Amino acid sequence: MHRILFTTTVAFSLLASAVSQGAESNKEQQQTTAQQDGQAAPSSSSFNVKNTFRNICGFCHENYGRKAGKGPQLMDNPNSDEFLFNRIKNGKPGRMAAFGGTFTDDQIREMVVFMRGLKPNVDP
């Protein structure tokens, strides 16, 4: 069981890292193209919380966190924003990977805001 959990945690960490690096590469490419064309560079906020939840968090937190899965339901979570921020950033040994090395503090804050906005039967 621990081996499966460890393998899953490592796989998600690698996936999150690849997603983050791909987004950074795409952002740099867009900025270079925009500068060459004489246009303003795109917004630095190319982070998509909904896609992140679907592709990374959704493996454990089903339906964008509105349903419990391998991990707890995140909608209507009674914990403080600070607790949620720290849990995403630092993880929980043996239960949840730490994503502080993958996402910036601002991106993690966006995730917390996203979780707070979750409503049943409403597309996030």
Q: Look up the CATH number of domain 2-116.
A: 1.10.760
Identify the three-state secondary structure at position 83.
Answer: helix
Place of tokens 């690849």: 18
The overall pTM is greater than 0.75: no
SS3 73: coil
- Residues 51, 62 contacting (CB under 8 angstroms): no
Residue boundaries of the structural domains of the chain? 2-116
Please give the chain's pLDDT, 124 residues, in tens: 555 544 445 445 545 554 455 445 444 554 444 444 444 444 445 889 999 989 999 999 999 999 999 999 999 999 999 999 999 999 999 999 999 999 999 999 999 999 999 999 888 8
Instruction: Determine the residue type at 91.
Output: G
